[in-house]
Amino acid sequence: MTKVERASFVDRRLAELYPSPPIPLDHKDVYTLLIAVLLSAQCTDVRVNKVTPILFAKAASPEQMIKLPVAKIQEIIRPCGLAPRKAKAIAELSSILIDRYDGEVPKSLEALEQLPGVGHKTASVVMSQAFGEPMFPVDTHIHRLAQRWKLTDGRNVVQTEKDLKRLFPKERWNELHLQIIYYGREHCSARGCDGTVCQICRALFPRRKNGVKTKK
């Protein structure tokens, strides 16, 4: 198969497996989604979903969040890891949302990327899942699978995002981003498959005998 043919196969198969992929992070609105995505950095969605109900019970808006001491935010989100940095970012971005955006999350990738603790991936997830803008955020699952399926050379996540955007139709980016994540978790995990085990890897590369080492 050519790279384009592999991409087409992946697109069709994942659409069959996950026709309506849900957003994995529990949230109530754009603000709570933003906070949940921020907390998910270097943390599983499962753990974030256990922590956010506790946090949002105390503060589910920027106005409520700035009234919580940073030490309290840190205490609540400790299970998510990097708690001091994340707590400080949550407090600071909440204040900025009130001061600059009337308490609303801005509907702009550039504006989101300027918020404390919000990088390109987090901003892209919010733009995609909250505002429906076509984005292709690349997490560890997508970066790994794109390499196993030879859809990118895997030099870095920036290059992977560019390569995937070129290969897949723009109208499929948002769903496909979630579909690849779900497939990576359930079938083509870091330990459960090395590029030779799962159904898509076997279909794309039936003669592959050696595992694929993922580039960071």
Q: Could you say which of 1.20.1440.230, 3.40.710.10, 2.40.50.140, 1.10.340.30 is the CATH number of the domain covering 30-129?
A: 1.10.340.30
How is residue 184 written in tokens? 């990576």
Instruction: Please give the Cα distance from 103 to 94 (Å, whole number).
Output: 8
Are 94 and 108 within 8 A, CB to CB?
Answer: no
Are 179 and 18 within 8 A, CB to CB?
Answer: yes
Task: Look up the pTM and report it.
Answer: 0.94
Max CA pair span of the chain: 59
Q: What pLDDT does residue 154 have?
A: 78
Catalytically annotated residue among 11, 26, 45, 139: 139
Q: Which parts of the chain have pLDDT scores under 50? A: none
* Unique residue bearing structure tokens 């974030």: 48
Catalytically annotated residue among 86, 121, 150, 163: 121
The DSSP letter of residue 70 is H
Are 6 and 201 within 8 A, CB to CB?
Answer: no
Q: What pLDDT does residue 77 have?
A: 98
Domain with CATH 1.10.340.30 in the chain: 30-129
Q: What pLDDT does residue 108 have?
A: 97
How is residue 149 written in tokens? 């399926």
Q: What pLDDT does residue 80 have?
A: 98
Instruction: Please give the Cα distance from 99 to 119 (Å, whole number).
Output: 20
pLDDT tens by residue, 116-139: 999 999 999 999 999 999 999 999
Q: Could you say which of 3.90.850.10, 2.115.10.20, 3.30.70.100, 1.10.1670.10 is the CATH number of the domain covering 3-21+136-204?
A: 1.10.1670.10
Catalytic annotation on 121?
Answer: yes
Domain with CATH 1.10.1670.10 in the chain: 3-21+136-204
